Amino acid sequence: MQTWRPFPGPFDTPRELEDFEPFPSIPEAPEDQLDQWLNALRVQPISAVEWDWAEGWAVGPRAINDSMWFWFERGNGWGWVSDEERRFRIRAGDLMLIPQGARHMVGQDAGERSHVFAIHFYAHVIGGINLLDLLGFPAHFPGTPESPYCAASHRLAREFAVAAPGWATAMVADILRVLFYMIRHHGSSMRLPQGTTGHPELLRLLPALEMIEQRISDPELAVGDLAARVCLSESQFRKLFRRITGMGPVRFIQGQRVKRACALLRTSDMNVGRIAELCGFNDQSFFVRTFKSRTHTSPSRYRKVREL
């Protein structure tokens, strides 16, 4: 009887940290905070569609209810995000990243007929803090041979079109792959904002944000429940919540419910009444009014429009 022996090779002994090439650029953040935020990250894919743009086509100015990227497979153009005066060039292979709610515009150069992938998603640290705002992602990422933008965009478009079993989980994996590549290779261009979402007390609020995520379908969720989760009085909690998120907890929860409804409208065939129920609305008519006030369109129309 022969005794099995491992085939001799370069990895017979454990590899040490210095044997691996480090990632070139990580954002500057307080110790352990970046890892905590990324461990609390939740990604929800919305749609992934590829488009052939006719000559002279442009999108915007506009703001949308989710985050997204445009990846240019063919064609050259330009874009801006948040600041019209800071327009940048887009070449074939480049990616344009747009945070949720940011005004933006993108267009083609004269004579160009671009082929573009539009990937829509939410990327939130538990409960709705937008990761792109939290880390100050730049808007323009030049394409390189090692960047994952091409392969990920193609896979995402296929997953969304075919909707095979596990398609949403597969899309989450590719969106995370792209976001983590950006964080690890372009981190030096990211800046934590000095405003509300970069506040160091965000970590203190995470248990309450997690409760919102877990009970988003519960119409009985109350501010007092959230305050108790972080061991504060209701008045103290309201002040803390507004200081960190820039809004009161009731308005924040309502916004999260509408965001979940947007995702369900685009990724499921459930009727509007069932979606309202799953998003914590007891009254369908109130849900429709709230949805319109937040998105400026009706749930049924939102479902029909394939957004660029």
Residue 70 has pLDDT above 60, yes or no: yes
Task: Give me the residues paired with residue 49 across strands.
Answer: 118
**Gap between the Cα atoms of 148 and 81, Å rounded:** 22
Q: How far apart are CA 218 and CA 214, in angstroms?
A: 9
- Give 133 or 117, the one with higher predicted confidence: 117
H-helix or E-strand spanning residue 30: none
Phi, psi at 206, each rounded to 5°: -55, -40
At 149-201, the pLDDT tens digits run 999 999 999 999 999 999 999 999 999 999 999 999 999 898 765 544 445 67
CA distances from 288 to 60, 113, 256, 291 (A): 26, 38, 15, 5
For 163, the token pair is 């909707």
Strand order in the sheet with 104-108: 58-62, 104-108, 77-81, 88-90
Which residues are registered as beta bridge partners of 45? 121
Question: Exposed (0-12), middle (13-18) or buried (19+): which is 304, by Cβ within 10 Å?
Answer: exposed
Residue ranges and CATH numbers for the domains of the chain are: 33-189 (2.60.120.10), 199-304 (1.10.10.60)
In whole angstroms, what is the distance from residue 200 CA to residue 205 CA? 10
The string of pLDDT tens digits covering residues 271-302 is 999 999 999 999 999 999 999 998 888 998 88
Whole-structure pTM value? 0.81
The pLDDT, as a whole number, for residue 156 is 98
